Every structure is written in structure tokens, then in C-alpha cells.
Amino acid sequence: MLKNRITQLFNIEKPIIQAGMVWTSGWKLASAVSNAGGLGIIGSGSMYPDVLEHHISSCKVATEKPYAVNVPLLYPDIEKHIEIIIKEKVPIVFTSAGNPKTWTKILKDEGIIVVHVVSSSVFAQKAEAAGCDAIVAEGFEAGGHNGREETTTLVLIPQVKQAISIPLIAAGGIANGQQMLAAMVLGADAVQIGSRFICTPEASAHSNFKEAILSSKEGDTMLSMKKTVPVRLMKNNFFQQIRDAELRGASAEELNEILGRGRAKKGMFEGQLDEGELEVGQVSSMIKQIKPAADIVAEIWNECIAEAQAVTKYF
Ligand code: NDP
Ligand code: NDP
């Protein structure tokens, strides 16, 4: 049990947050992480409104602990998502991929805690000015949608820490207790972890995707589509098509044409490893086993404490 600004803000035991991930973090994963003392997040970006409603109500049955919903602000039906979140009295919302000015006040007026995900100090200050309660600063190592600036977690966290006064959650490149401790030394109050939680029985991602992560090697992911919406992907046939097009100078329109519709669903939910989009972070090469989410939370936390004690021996 650790008492700091984030555990107190969310009323959780351990400063470990499971990232909201499209097609991957439904109510099963979110409730398992919350029950283990962390904060689980339902990734609503891939859910039609009725599916989101189902996942929130199932989550409330599966856990009495706090949980959150991630809302990417570019979601097409966002008004409906916000309406459901307010109606279901979701306690915490993580917004991402958009301007935090639009929804923060509306959610906060309903008593909801609002956290916004950013990739730079400037965006972090904007989120603080918009009234957010905390910030997730996500470095270049992270999977899925990513900042254009390519600032790594090691460089990003201390700068965001200096730029804001609200609590800070570090993300990108964190999958074990050593990495968690490093992020906290850099100034984070908590960590947000995505990729590690894909390889759990509770994640709704396809087993082909989980297995692909387990057998991935260092260097197997890369940032793609910087001309449109930058996204870190595992290298596969689809990635290579995009890469070839980028190398020959294809326009944003051409890239969007190759992307088509529903690539993320194909890759991560339906397990089409060649033709789908596989959004995962650089740490995928460090993930070797599928384990229950609760075991991962406990292991990372225990390892973080042990490493903190071990490191003092050097000084
Ligand atoms: P479901 O709610 O369909 O549940 C799967 C299993 O869990 C069912 O066998 C059900 O048993 C059982 N179950 C349902 N509710 C509870 C509960 N409250 N407590 C305990 N057990 C329960 O979940 P899924 O994650 O499989 O998916 C539901 C829908 O959401 C699907 O349409 C799927 O496509 C979509 N989905 C979308 C995601 C996204 O990111 N967009 C992510 C995950 C899923 P029984 O039928 O016997 O009640
Ligand atoms: P596409 O436009 O290619 O496809 C939309 C996908 O989202 C489809 O697979 C569709 O499911 C599903 N979907 C869920 N709700 C709706 C809705 N109301 N209208 C249309 N489609 C819906 O988008 P992507 O797959 O690339 O991304 C999907 C969404 O995920 C984005 O809109 C964004 O919100 C979010 N996203 C956010 C990220 C982040 O914040 N970090 C990262 C990645 C994605 P179906 O195929 O069953 O119709």
C-alpha cells in the first residue's frame, strides 16, 4: 500500500494503471486489474455505444473497486459515450487523442475525475489549464497512437514534471518493476502500462496477437504513419505495405487508402497477423508469458519495492 497523490486521487492501493487499449481492454481486464489493487481502464475507442454500456455494467458487477473508461476524443460518436459514462456514474475518465478543453469541464461538473494523455510538456500544460486532475505523459516507446515529437519516456517525464503541478502518470516502455521504479525516480506518481496487460487471459485481444507478442524480438515495432496519425505497430505485411509507400513518398491520402477501415480490429481482435494493425509498444520483446492480470500487478509492484531497496546499497 502506497499513499501518494495518485493512489489518493483514485482511491487505489498500488500506483499501477492498466492502459485503455482498443479491442483489448474490455470489462474483464479492467475489473481484474482493479480487483488486484491497481486501476483498470475500459478502452471505449473501439466500442459502439451499446457495447460500451454492456462493458461498464459488467465491470460494475465484477468489481467494487474504482475503475475508469478511456475515451479517445476523436471517437466519432463521442456524445453518446459521454452520455453513457455520466448515466452509469463512471468514477474516472481518461481522455486521449484530442483537445481536453472540450469535455473536461462537462465531466468534472458531474463529479468525474478527468485525466488526459499527452506526449509533450506543452500539451501537459494545456491539459492542466483545461482543469484535468492528472496527466499521463506517454513516451515514444509506447504502442498504438503516439506523439509526433518522438520524445522518449526518459526525457519526457522530468520535463513534464517541471511543467505542471498536478499528479503525473508515466507511460511508454514500462512492463516490469525496474522500469516502474525508474519512472517514479524521474518524477512520476504512478505508471500506466499497456502492452504487458495484452498478454493476459482477461484481455479480449485475439490469442494470435498475444502469441505474436511473446515471440517478438527487440526492434520488432516501429512508428508508422507520421503523415497521418502516428502509430507504433508490430512489423508485419500490412506495416511493410505502409512503410514501402512512405519510402516512395506517398501522400497522406494514399496512406489512408492503404489503411482502409477496421485494420485494428482485423489485427488485434480477429487475429489476422499479416493484414491487420498490431498496436504494441517496444517492450513487447520483454514479454515472455501469458499471466493473469492480478499476478502481473503483484509482480511489478513487488519487484519495484525490491529494486528500490536494492538500489540504495550503491549509495
Ligand atoms: P461478454 O460480456 O460477452 O462475456 C463473455 C463471457 O463472460 C460470457 O460467456 C458471459 O457468460 C460471461 N459474463 C458476462 N457478463 C459477466 C459478468 N458480469 N460476470 C461474470 N461473467 C460474465 O464479454 P466479451 O468481452 O466477450 O465481449 C462482449 C462484446 O464486446 C462482444 O460483442 C465483443 O465483440 C465486444 N468487445 C469489444 C471490445 C472492444 O474493445 N471494442 C473488447 C472486448 C469485447 P454468459 O453468456 O454465460 O452470461
Ligand atoms: P477505423 O475507422 O478503421 O474503424 C472503426 C472501427 O471502430 C471499426 O472496426 C468499428 O467496428 C469500430 N467502431 C466502434 N464504434 C464505432 C462507431 N461509433 N462508428 C464507427 N466505427 C466504430 O478506425 P480504427 O480501427 O483505426 O480506430 C478505431 C477507433 O479507435 C478510433 O476512432 C479511435 O477512437 C480509437 N483509437 C484510439 C487510440 C488512442 O487513443 N490511443 C488508439 C487507436 C485507436 P466494426 O468493424 O465492428 O464496425
* Sheet strands (E) in 73-110: 92-96
- Give me the pLDDT at residue 314, please: 84
Task: Compute the distance from residue 22 Cα to the ligand 2 centre, in Å.
Answer: 8
Q: Look up the pTM and report it.
A: 0.92
User: Distance of CA 147 to CAs 142, 191, 228, 298, Å?
Assistant: 9, 18, 12, 30
pLDDT for position 5: 97
Q: Report the C-alpha gap between 85 and 60 in whole angstroms.
A: 12
User: One digit per residue, pLDDT tens: the chain, 315 residues?
Assistant: 789 999 999 999 999 999 999 999 999 999 999 999 999 999 999 999 999 999 999 999 999 999 999 999 999 999 999 999 999 999 999 999 899 999 999 999 999 999 999 999 999 999 999 999 999 999 999 999 999 999 999 999 999 999 999 999 999 999 999 999 999 999 999 999 999 999 999 999 999 999 999 999 999 999 999 999 999 999 999 999 999 999 999 999 999 999 999 999 999 999 999 999 999 999 999 999 999 999 999 999 999 999 999 998 888
The pLDDT value given to residue 315:
84
* Residue 170 CA: distances (Å) to CA of 1, 135, 142, 173, 235: 19, 8, 11, 9, 25
Q: Nearest CA to 167 among 128, 194, 122, 213?
A: 128
Name the E strands within 203-252: 221-224, 231-234
Q: Which residues are near ligand 2 (CB < 6 Å)?
A: 22, 45-48, 72, 74-77, 96-97, 144-145, 261-265
The pLDDT value recorded for residue 124 is 98
Could you tell me where in the chain the CATH 3.20.20.70 domains are found? 5-204+286-314
Which residues, in sequence order, are bridge partners of residue 136?
Answer: 117, 169
Of 108, 111, 135, which Cα lies nearest the Cα of 122?
135
Q: What radius of gyration do the chain's Cα atoms show? A: 18
CATH fold of the domain at 5-204+286-314: TIM Barrel (3.20.20)
Predicted pLDDT at 313: 86
Quick: pLDDT tens for 131-141. 999 999 999 99
**CB neighbour list of residue 121: distance below 8 Å, 6 or more residues apart:** 156, 159, 160, 162, 163, 164
Pocket test for ligand 2, best of 18, 22, 148, 224 (most atoms within 8 A of CB): 22
Using the mean position of ligand 1's atoms as its centre, give its distance from the Cα of residue 204 in Å. Answer: 9
Q: How far is the CA of 111 from the centre of ligand 2 (A)?
A: 28
Return d(Cα 153, Cα 142) in angstroms, integer. Answer: 9
Bridge partner list, 190: 169
